[in-house]
Structure 1
Amino acid sequence: MTDASLPPAIAQSHAFARRHIRVSLRDRAALFWSALWPTCWYLLTMYLLVLPQLPADTAPDTLAVIKTTQAVTFGIFGALTVCLVGFAGELTRDLEEKRYRGLRSYPIVPEADLFGRFIGSVLLGVGAFGSVLAVGVLDGAYISPQHSWLVTTSIVLTMLVMLCGLCTAIALLVVRLTNGRSQTNLVTLTIVMIAFFVTGFNGTQPWLIPGEAIQGLLNIIPNTLTTRVILDALVVAEWSHAGLTPPAMPTLSTTVTLVGGYISLSAAIAVVFARRWLYAGDAGE
């Protein structure tokens, strides 16, 4: 089936998604920071910081779970970079090159534009996450899903979609408030780094965060919620041995409520920006 045979909104979303992926894959700097750097960071952390500090008699199962934890947290870092920094950078480039001056002259569905870019970001984010996780598995990370592979995969993808959706909304706000691609990249990279370190490496090192009340936020903050839910789905383990608890891992009811709320909020922000700024406003002028 070709784009010409599809409804206009779907065909336009498909076109924007393909273009976003194509342009991103041609950007060597973006590829390095989103895929290669998180993988290198995982290996450097494991072999220079984590392994030298572990007791010589650490059980193999415990070591495998620690490697899984590190692989997932750096995989989420890669997804954050793709979906926040990459999305904002490409949108800013289009604005600077006055592409929206031309796009507004065509019968484009505003939501199709951002939805297509979003789908492209999700696919790239899943790729970044998967590449780090694959290296972790080759390095000895342990994966033993609590549920069937179908259910586990659905959980992982749902959490990544939610995270990428919020990144899209944040990226739109940053692009709207900044001036130029260099400034946009600086702000979004800063957000990613702050989110990673301030939350205890995406919620995998709660002991770095003082106070039980603040630690409890790790099951609410988007990047830490995503990391902890994915870990809990991928591995059946005593998480206290890996340092992830307390607080307890997120409950199903809390996760469903937060995911639904975050997705709804992201969609609302994206629709407003697409309609009122990108296509009905003066974006890029």
Structure 2
Amino acid sequence: MKRTSAFLVLSVLGLMALSPPAAIADDAAGAALCKVRGNGRSVGMSPLEAVVRKQEAYLLSTKLLSKIIIALDKVASTDAPASLPATPVYSDLDVNTPFGKHVKFVLDAQVDMNNMSILIESPTPLTEPTGFINTWKTSAARYVYRKRFVSNVAIAPKQDGSDDYSDVNCLRTIKIYGVGNTFGIFDPSVPLGASRKSHNFIEFDRFNATFKEVRAGVFRQVAIEQMTESHYGLPEGFAFLPPGRGPFEITPGSNPPRVVGDVDPLLLQP
């Protein structure tokens, strides 16, 4: 009987240790496993505990990345308030507006909003709040709707082939690599230029993003680089939206005027 009881206890403890980190990610249970010794290394953990902390860092950082992307989608699908000054600062963001609320969320998600490294389709990174706010003010004016999906992510490899992940002083840093796609609709008044043939499009993207643990279980973004690998214009006509921004609403008399069903059939063939 004693032997059976001991076996059951050990089995339960083993199952607890092997529970998916997703179940414990919000409570940052992995942070409680870490202990620091004089050499600054995160030690005192079993190999399994170290794996849990690494997987938890991956889950928490990708979760934050998804929240940032959702926030920026909402920024692109709204308009900046007319009261926003030409040279806006962080304190000018009005959280009672969709634009201010979501831009503020993204800035708050940075390790240091005054020393950022956000590189999006440009050789020059956004490094401080004013440039970031104005960039998204411009994007909000151009877009009617945007939805970006992250379809796959992994821990980025270093040159030696190992994962770009560290756990020092019980604070983790992780770099993730991913791919995704974007469905976007530009306002009909936006000039297309040579590189865009349609106001409605799909793009395929890749990105690198680095996240750092600022306190136990809390991650913030250090840097991100996002580049579009390919761009495909979609047929014009059935995606011009009313001010309500619903991507698939069809409202008679909406503004701008809708043109539904006038697509060349050849464009719809496989």
Q: Determine if the TM-score, normalized by the shorter chain, exceeds 0.5.
A: no
TM-score w.r.t. the length of structure 2 is 0.31
Structure with the largest fraction of helix: 1
TM-score when normalising by structure 1: 0.30
Highest Rg: 1 or 2? Answer: 2
Which has the bigger relative contact order, CA under 8 A and spacing at least 6? 1
